[in-house]
Amino acid sequence: MRRKPDFFNVSLNNILSDDQSVLDQARIRLLYYGLGIVFVALAALLSSLYFQRTPMHTAMIVTLLVSCGVFFKLLTYKPKWKFIAHALLIQATLLNLGNIYITLQDVNIITVQIVILVIIFGFYMLGRAFGAMYSVVNIMAILVFLAIRHNMPYHIGIQPEIVNESTVIITIVANFVLLLYMHSHFYTAFYNNIKELNRTTQAQRELNAELEMAIKKAEKSSQAKSEFLSTMSHEIRTPLNAIIGMTNLLLMNSPRNDQKENLEILKYSGTNLLSIVNDVLDYDKIEAGKVVFDQVNFNLAELLYSICGAQKLKAEEKGLLFKLDIDSALKDKIVFGDPTRLAQVIYNLVNNAIKFTSTGNVWVKVTCVEEKQNALTVNFMVKDTGIGINKESLDAIFEPFAQESSTTRQYGGTGLGLAIIKRLLELQGLKINVSSKVDEGSEFSFNMEIPVSVGNAKQCDVDEQAQLQNNDTLHSLRVLIAEDNLVNVMLMKKLFSKWNMEPTIAENGERAVELVQGSDFDIILMDLQMPVLNGFDAAIEIRKMHDPKKANIPIIALTASALFDIRERVFNSGMNDYVSKPFKPDELLEKINSLAAAV
């Protein structure tokens, strides 16, 4: 372990550290060993000059010796190599000027060596700018002196000192040693720096290759997860479609009260299972950033009554008092937004309130906080007298799968409801607020600014009545259903018989294309996952037909898939709309009416 240098430190290892670059370490080493070489050379020169009676040279050498000692101590105590490099270059420049203009009054090999030392030392130690500056000063000193002497004899009042041959030899040899040492030292430093750079580059390449492989694995894993979810969604939703669909058909047949009760339980269980599947799929879709918010007109009050109507029955079955309070200012308002996502948020909040409340009350309060010309600021609040939440757990409840295992076993659910709520609101720039006390209950609320649509609730009622009248003309529609699942085929036949319609069935996409070529249809319901030819390719083939009437037949996709890009793929293949399985009969009927009327 490196010891922090003190005043008495002389070790090089104590002034080198890992946070210094390879080049900076080389500069410190150069100063450390270079000062030693200079000190030895100066000591040899001093001994040579001792008996030659050259006071100016002797004083200069003594000054340089003292400076070397001071700089060495400063380096080993406070390794400020830049300051020391500047000080040495200034001394070398003054020494050069003194030799040229005072002590030697001449330019000789020693002067040239000193200039070369200054140039090399300046550039290696301090870089291009300072290296050039010190080099120019020393070179200009020589050129000026040579110019002066060229025009006239150079003469000052000080007699130049003459040194013997041995002193000159010692100086020349010392300068050559310093030149060789600096070149060798920095060549090694640069070479090691390049090798280190190559090693780093190679390591970076390997790291990039590993990162690329990791990204590919992650992409494959994500794709596999999406495919798994799509497959599981299809496999689960397909039988659920039959269960819920058949239940709806049986409920439409005016069953006896005892049968109706059993059917309601069956429908509730199927819907509950579907809700759990949807929670998992919706959360995955939200996390992937694939949620698209619809912008349609809807009656806010009717949406809330629809959501809370079924929930009220569920609350009353538990002996809870359920109250829905809607601001009178909102009763006849038609707003513009995504009713499905808003219903999902409200439904999850109310469902949680009922689930975690064994006795007491559940309130849903919707208040108009601010009414502007084209928008409403609405506060949605759901309050209960349930088990409550610890203060320390308030943040954690919005994380996925945040339920404690005991809570999950006692109350059921996926633990995704609040996570979905939070993320759906965040995607719209909204924040949910929560306050809760253990054993006293919880209150969840959020504010949403909703654009107001042109029109009113009465106009919507008129439109709905007009749509119901259009249902009477459905029996004249020629419908082709492309579906390979026999249970779903039976379900569709029974459902369409309720609407006085007789559909034609195609067991796969290829057969659907053949039937369209040979017959006339008004609308096609296309399952997406079928043998021989899937729904996407079948739709593409139909759109390629030469007969414009056949090529433009409205096509509604029927999908149980959970892939994020399913909507985009449906429209890219030429289909007009899609319905997710298990579908609601009213939703399918509405879309059939809408597309049939547009033809």
For 404-418, write each residue's pLDDT tens digit.
444 444 554 556 778
For 388-418, give one letter per residue: b (16+ CB within 10 A) or e: bbeeeeeeebbebebbeeeeeeeeebbbbbb
Report CA torsion sign: 180, 185, 191, 193. Answer: negative
Q: Give dist(CA 543, CA 145) in Å, integer.
A: 94
Residue 543 has pLDDT above 90, yes or no: yes
Here the tokens at position 319 are 């002996």
What value does the mean pLDDT take over residues 48-62?
A: 85
**All residues at 6 or more sequence positions from 326 whose CB lies less than 8 Å from its CB, including other chains:** 301, 304, 305, 366
Structure tokens at 451: 């654009």
* Alpha-carbon gap, residue 526 to 555, rounded angstroms: 7
pLDDT band at 226; cut points 50, 70, 90: low
Most confidently modeled range among 2-11, 224-233, 337-346, 569-578:
569-578
Cβ distance 358 to 426 under 8 Å? no
pLDDT of residue 409: 42
C-alpha distances out from residue 379 to 38, 51, 388, 430, 515, Å: 84, 103, 22, 11, 53
Q: What per-residue confidence (pLDDT) applies to 550?
A: 92
Structure tokens at 376: 């409403």
pLDDT-derived band at 229, boundaries 50, 70, 90? low
pLDDT of residue 507: 92
Backbone dihedral angles phi then psi of residue 87, each to the nearest 5 degrees: -60, -45
- The β-bridge partners of 325 are 365
Say yes or no to pLDDT of 440 above 50.
yes
Is this prediction's pTM over 0.75? no
Residue 86 has pLDDT above 80, yes or no: yes
Distance in angstroms between the alpha carbons of the first and the last residue of the chain? 85
CA distance 214 to 231: 25
The mean pLDDT of 223-243, rounded to a whole number, is 71
Hey, where are the domains in the chain? 13-163, 294-455, 460-598
Q: Of 128, 32, 28, which Cα lies nearest the Cα of 82?
A: 28
- CATH superfamily, with its number, for domain 460-598: Response regulator (3.40.50.2300)
Q: Are strands 361-371 and 375-384 parallel, antiparallel or unpaired?
A: antiparallel
Q: Determine the Cα–Cα distance for residues 156 and 250; give it in Å rounded to an integer.
A: 125
Q: In sequence order, what DSSP letters do the residues of 344-406 get, joined into one string?
A: HHHHHHHHHHHHT-SSSEEEEEEEEEEE-SSEEEEEEEEEE-SS---GGGTTGGGSTT-S-HH
Asked if CATH classification 3.30.565.10 holds for the domain at 294-455, the reply, yes or no, is yes
Q: For a pLDDT cut of 90, what percent of the chain falls above it? A: 29
The whole-angstrom separation of Cα 21 and Cα 333 is: 70
**Whole-number Cα distances in Å, 96 to 91, 102, 348, 525:** 8, 10, 88, 98
Closest CA to 60 of 94, 84, 22, 34: 94
SS3 557: strand
Residue 468: pLDDT over 50: no
Beta bridge partners of 144: none
**How would residue 448 be classed by pLDDT, with cut points 50, 70 and 90?**
very high
Bridge partners, 437 (sequence order): 441
Mean local confidence (pLDDT), 586-594: 84
Mean pLDDT on 393-410: 60
CB atoms < 10 A from the CB of 193, how many? Answer: 16
